[in-house]
Amino acid sequence: MIVRTIRVEAWRCFVEPLEVGPFAEDITILHAPNATGKSTLLAAMRHGFCDHHRAKGDGVEALRPWGRSLSPIIRVDFLSGGIDYRLEKRYLEGAFSRILRLEGGRFVPVAEGREADELARTFINSDPPGKGLAYRPENWGLAQVLWVPQGRLPLTGLSGNVIADLQRAIGAELAGTIGGPIEKRIDAAYYGIFTPGGSYSKGCLASKLRAELERECAALAAATEHWNQFQNTSREVEDLRSRVEGLKRTALDLEHKLEAERERAASYAALITERDRQRDAVARATAEYGQLDQTIRSIVSLREERGKARSAIALIEESLPRLSGEVASLAVAAEEKQTVLEEAKAGADAVRAARALADMAGRFVSLREKVHAMHDRLEIVSAVRAGLAERRRLRSAIIAPSSKALAEMRSAIAARDRARAALEAALVTLEIVPDRECVADVVAGEELGLLELEAGRPIELKGSPAVVVNFPGFGKLRARGPVGDIEGVRKERERAAGRLTKATEGYGTADLDELEERCAEAARVDVEISNAEAKLSGVLGGQAEEELRQERARATAALEEISAGHPEWLAEYPDVEALRGAALRAEEAFEMAVVEAEANRDAKVHDLNGARAQESASRRDLENRDRQAERLESQLRALTADGLSDEDRARRLAEIAIKQHAAGELLRKAEDGLARFGDDPRVTVVTLESQLAAANEASRKGLIEEKLAEGRLKEIAKGSPYAALARAEESVTALKENLAREECRADAIRLLHLTVSACRKEIENAVVAPVEQIATRTLHRIAGVRLGSVQLGSGFKPETIEPGVDDVTGQRLRIGVDQLSDGESEQLHFGVRLALAEHLAKDERQLVVFDDVLLATDAVRLARMTAILEDYAQRLQVVILTCHPERYGGLKSARFIDLEAVLRVCPTDAQAAVA
C-alpha cells in the first residue's frame, strides 16, 4: 500500500481542512518547523487505518482541536493491489467510516461503518483492541515496522500477526493460517494458569486451591493440636489419679508407722522419768557422803593446825625483848647523824648571797646598754618629726587642684574651644583691605557702627547671617554666609566658659599650665611626707613614742637603784663572769657536804626502821597466831557440834556409801533400757507426724489438680476434638486431590505451551536469518564492517551484534545493542526496519514513514543512509518527516513538501507548496 494524499479537518492543530500530497511513489520529504503538525498527520493516518470510527473516550476527545467541539475527520487516498482507494472517517459526533474505490475516474463506496473499519485494517493487518484507540504499537499491524513515529526507531518486538506476515513474506510458510489462533488459545490456557515468569498466577485455580489448602492445613494443625491436647489431658488425668492413689497409700502407711512409734515413745518417756529419778538419788547420796567425809577430814585437819599455832606463839613471845633493845640503840645513833646534817645545811645563805651579787651585776650591765639604745632612738624620732612638720606646712601652702578637678577643667576648655570654633564657622567674615583711609558704617554684623579704615591695614568684620557695610560715597557692601543657629552656638560657648570659671575658681588663676604645675608640686611634697612617716614608723617599731620614753625612764630608775647599792660599779663595771664563777663554786661545795651528811643520817635511820619493823612484825605475828588459834578452836567447836563421836561419824559415812551404790545401780539399768531404743522415738513420732501431714496435703492438692484436669478434659471433650480433626483432614485430603488433579492439568498445559514455544522459536529462527542478513548488509553500508553481523531475538527484536572476534573464553563475542552509541544504535535499527520492510513489500510496494528519527547520525553516515533510502525507494514508498530538509538535500529524486507553505496557501491547493 502506498499513500497518495492525506486530508485532515478539525484534527488537533488542524482546524481548517488541510490536504497534503500527492506523495511521490518513491521518496517524499515532508518538512516543516517544529509544532507544525507533521507527526499529527502520521498519527491521523494511523488512527484512520486502525481505529473504529465509533471509538470513544478521552483519547478520541483529545483528537479535537483544542477548545473546540468539532468532529475530527481524516481522508486518505491510497493505492493497494493496483487499485486506488479512499478511506474516509469521522470520529465523535456524526461518526462515519467509508472505503471508496476509484472506478471510472470517480470514487465509488466499497464499504461503510464497521465493515469499512474492518476493511481498512486489512490494508495494514492491524489488530486493534475492542474498545478505545490503538495506542499500543502491537496493535498497529504492519505499521509497527513501516511507520516509525518520532523517538520510536528501536523495535521492541512485533505482534503475532506481523510475525506471521513476515514469515509468509519471507516464504518460510511454516505457520499455517490457523496456527496463530491455536497458539493464542494455548497461550491463553497457559497464561490462565501461569505468569510470564512461569509461576502460578494468583487467580488460577491451582493458586486458589493452594491458598485454600494452606488455610485448611492451618485448620488441620489447629484441630490436631486440639486433639493432642485432649489426649494429653486424658493422660494427665490418668497420671494424677495414679499419683493421688500413691499418695493415699503413702499416708496410710505413715499412719500405721506413727501408731507403733507412739507406743514406743511412751515406753521411752517412762524410762526417761526413772532415769532422772535415780540420777537425783545418786546425786543426793553423793552429796551427803561428800559432806560428811569432808567434815571428818576437816576436824582432823583443824586439830593439826591448832597445835602448830600454839607452838609458833610460844617462839614469838620469847624473841620480843631482844628486838626492843636493838631499836633503842639505833634511835640514838640516828639522832646524832641528823645533827651533823643540819650543820651542813647552814652554809646555804652564803651560797645564795654570792649568786644574787652575780645576778645584780649582770642586770646592771644590761640596763646600762638598754638605756643608751633607747636614748638614741628617741633622738632620731625627734629629728624625723621636725622634718615631717616642715613638709606638712609646705604642703598646706600649695593650693593645687586635684586630678579630677583638673580633668573637669580640661573638658570645659575643650567644650569652650569647640563652641568658639563653631561660632567662628557660623559667622560671615568680611575682610577689608583699604587702599586709602576711609570711613565705613557697619549696619549689620557683630559690631555695628562707624569704622575708620587705614590704608593698607586689613580689617575683618564678622556677622550672621550677613555683614553689611556702607561706604559713604562708594556704596553698600553685603556679605552673606551660611545660615546657622548662631545663638545656640553662643549659648554653648557661654555654658562652656561658665563650666571653666566654676572649675578654676578658688585656685586664684584659670591658667591651666600653672594649675598643672601646682598639682605636680603638691604630689612631690606628698611623696616626701609619706617617706618621712614611713621612717618614723620604722624607728618606733610599732611602739608609741611615749611608751618608749616611759620604758627608758623605768630602766634609768632601776639602774640608779642598783648603783646606789654598788657605787663602785659606776666607776668601774663589775666583772659579771667572775662573780658568777665564785657563786657557782660555793654552791657546789655546799651541795657535796649536805649530800654526805644526808647519806650518813639515812643509813642510820634505815637500820632503825629495820629494827622497828622486825619488832612490829613479831608483835603482829603474835597477834595473828593468837587469832588463828582462836578461830581454829571455834571451827572445831562448830564441826563437832553434831554431838557425834569420831566413830559415829565413820559409821554414818559407810551407810551413805551403800545407799549411793544402790541408786547408781538403778540408774544404770534405766540408762541401759534407754540405750536399747537407739534414737529417741519421740523425735521419730514428730517426723512421722510431719510426713503424714505433708502426704495428706500432697494428696489433697493432687486431688484438686485431678479435679481441675478432669474439668479441662470435659471442656475439651465437649468441643469434639476428633470430629473437628476428621472434618479438617477430609477437607485437606479433598483439596490435595483437587490440587494434584489441577497441577497435573497445569503441568500438561505447561508442557504443551513450552513445546509449542520451542517449536515457534525454532521456526522464528529460520525466518529471522534472511532479515538478519539484509540488516547486516545495510549496517555495513552505513557503518562499515566493524560492527559485524546483527542478531535478532524474539519478535525480530534486535538483540546483539557479533563483531567477529572472540572473547577471553574463546567464544564468539556478542555485544548487546544497548551498548552501542546512540548513532550506531539508530543506524542498526534503521537497517533492521528497512530489512523487514523489504520483506513486507515483496508482493506490493509499501509505505515507509520515518518521523524525525535520524537525529543522532553524523552527516557522512546520513549521506550513506539517504543513498540506501534511494535504493529502497525502488521497492518502497519512503516518506520522511523532518524539520531539517537540508539534511536530505542529497536526495535529488525526492519530492519535498513544505507543510508550512501548505498551511499558508489554500488547503486544497497543496500542490502549490510542493517544491
Partner 1 sequence: MKFLHTADWQIGMKAAHAGRAAQRVRAERMAAAIRVIEIARQEAVDFIVVAGDTFEDNGVERALVQQVGDILSSFGRPVYLIPGNHDPFVPGSVWEHPVWSMAKSVRVLAEEEPVEVCGGLLFPCPILAKYSRKDPTAWIRAEQSRGICLGVAHGTVEGLCQEEPDYPIPLDAPNMRSLDYLALGHWHSTTGYSRPDGSVRMAYSGTHETTKFGERDSGNVLIVEIAAPGVPPVITQARTGGLYWTVLERELLDDGDLERVVDEISEIDTAEHTLIDVRLRGLITPSKRNWLDRIDDLLQARFVCGRLGTSGLRITPQDDSWLADLPVGPVRGAAERLRSIADPAGGEARPAGVTTETASRALLELYSILRSDR
Options 147-155, 185-193, 476-484, 610-618: segment touching partner 1 (CB under 8 A): 185-193
Using CB under 8 A, pick the residue from 185, 491, 637, 700 that binds partner 1: 185
CA distance 184 to 756: 11
Cβ neighbors of 603 (< 8 A, separation 6 or more) are 337
C-beta closer to partner 1: residue 224 or 411: 224
- Enumerate the H helices of 459-485 as residue ranges: none
CB of 209 to partner 1, least distance (A): 15
CB of 202 to partner 1, least distance (A): 22
Q: How many residues does the chain have?
A: 915
CA distance 258 to 685: 6
HSE of 751, CA atoms in CB hemisphere, 13 A: 6
Site for partner 1 in 662-691 (CB under 8 A): none
Concatenate the DSSP letters of all residues of 333-382 into one string.
HHHHHHHHHHHHHTTHHHHHHHHHHHHHHHHHHHHHHHHHHHHHHHHHHH
Cβ neighbors of 626 (< 8 A, separation 6 or more) are 313
CB of 130 to partner 1, least distance (A): 20
749 forms part of the interface with partner 1 (CB under 8 A): yes
Using CB under 8 A, pick the residue from 152, 392, 745, 797 that binds partner 1: 745
Options 380-388, 679-687, 752-760, 848-856: segment touching partner 1 (CB under 8 A): 752-760
C-beta closer to partner 1: residue 161 or 366: 161
Options 34-42, 235-243, 370-378, 380-388: segment touching partner 1 (CB under 8 A): 235-243
**810 DSSP assignment:** S
CB 776 within 8 Å of CB 810: no
755 forms part of the interface with partner 1 (CB under 8 A): yes
246 forms part of the interface with partner 1 (CB under 8 A): no
CB of 747 to partner 1, least distance (A): 5
C-beta closer to partner 1: residue 721 or 831: 721
Site for partner 1 in 117-136 (CB under 8 A): none
Using CB under 8 A, pick the residue from 114, 131, 215, 235 that binds partner 1: 235
Amino acid at 184: K
Quick one: the chain helix, strand, coil %, rounded to 5?
A: 65, 15, 20
- Enumerate the H helices of 24-64 as residue ranges: 38-50, 58-61
CB 302 within 8 Å of CB 636: yes
Q: How many CB atoms lie within 10 A of CB 782?
A: 23
- 179-191 and 160-170 are packed helices; what angle lies between their axes, rounded to 10 degrees? 150
What x/- string results for residues 157 through 176 when contact with partner 1 is judged by CB under 8 A?
----------------xxxx
State which H helix or E strand residue 864 sits in.
helix 859-872
C-beta closer to partner 1: residue 81 or 176: 176
CB of 272 to partner 1, least distance (A): 52
CB of 766 to partner 1, least distance (A): 11
| Parallel/antiparallel/unpaired status of strands 106-112 and 27-31 | unpaired
C-beta closer to partner 1: residue 306 or 736: 736
Using DSSP, state whether 499 is helix, strand or coil.
Answer: helix
CB of 215 to partner 1, least distance (A): 17
CB of 176 to partner 1, least distance (A): 3
C-beta closer to partner 1: residue 143 or 709: 709
Using CB under 8 A, pick the residue from 40, 161, 234, 366 that binds partner 1: 234
CB of 861 to partner 1, least distance (A): 39
Site for partner 1 in 416-435 (CB under 8 A): none
Q: How far is CA 227 from CA 212, 424, 731, in A?
A: 22, 122, 17
Cβ neighbors of 195 (< 8 A, separation 6 or more) are 201
- 205-345 and 576-639 are packed helices; what angle lies between their axes, rounded to 10 degrees? 110
Using CB under 8 A, pick the residue from 183, 615, 826, 851 that binds partner 1: 183
CB 531 within 8 Å of CB 384: no
CB of 838 to partner 1, least distance (A): 23
CB 472 within 8 Å of CB 388: no
Cell of 133: 484507540
Q: How many CB atoms lie within 10 A of CB 638?
A: 11
CB of 160 to partner 1, least distance (A): 11
Q: Cα torsion at 340, 342, 348, 350 (round to 10°)?
A: -70
C-beta closer to partner 1: residue 393 or 761: 761
CB of 131 to partner 1, least distance (A): 25
Using CB under 8 A, pick the residue from 83, 523, 759, 766 that binds partner 1: 759
Options 57-65, 616-624, 757-765, 828-836: segment touching partner 1 (CB under 8 A): 757-765
CB of 156 to partner 1, least distance (A): 22
Residue 132 Rama label (left phi>0; alpha psi -120 to 50; beta): left
What x/- string results for residues 760 through 789 when contact with partner 1 is judged by CB under 8 A?
x-xx--------------------------
Cell of 506: 578658688
CB of 15 to partner 1, least distance (A): 49
C-beta closer to partner 1: residue 680 or 710: 710
- Number of residues near partner 1 (by CB under 8 A): 58
CA distance 736 to 743: 10
Q: How far is CA 451 from CA 430, 435, 436, 475, 479, in A?
A: 13, 15, 13, 15, 17
C-beta closer to partner 1: residue 231 or 634: 231
What x/- string results for residues 697 through 736 when contact with partner 1 is judged by CB under 8 A?
------------xx--xx-xxx-xxxx-xxx-xx-xxx--
Cell of 558: 632601776
Site for partner 1 in 194-233 (CB under 8 A): 227, 230-231, 233
CB of 880 to partner 1, least distance (A): 37
CA distance 876 to 846: 5
Using CB under 8 A, pick the residue from 373, 557, 758, 906 that binds partner 1: 758
CB of 132 to partner 1, least distance (A): 28
CA distance 628 to 310: 9
CB of 730 to partner 1, least distance (A): 4
C-beta closer to partner 1: residue 133 or 725: 725
Using CB under 8 A, pick the residue from 360, 605, 756, 855 that binds partner 1: 756
CA distance 92 to 70: 9
Options 305-313, 383-391, 657-665, 747-755: segment touching partner 1 (CB under 8 A): 747-755
Cell of 882: 523532518
Question: In three state form, how does the secondary structure of 75-133 look?
Answer: EEEEEECCEEEEEEEECCCCCEEEEEEEECCEEEEEEEHHHHHHHHHHHHCCCCCCCCC
Options 500-508, 571-579, 658-666, 756-764: segment touching partner 1 (CB under 8 A): 756-764
CA distance 184 to 639: 147
HSE of 477, CA atoms in CB hemisphere, 13 A: 19
CB of 734 to partner 1, least distance (A): 6
| Footprint of partner 1 (CB under 8 A) | 173-179, 181-183, 185-186, 189, 227, 230-231, 233-235, 237-238, 241, 709-710, 713-714, 716-718, 720-723, 725-727, 729-730, 732-734, 737, 744-745, 747-749, 751-752, 754-760, 762-763
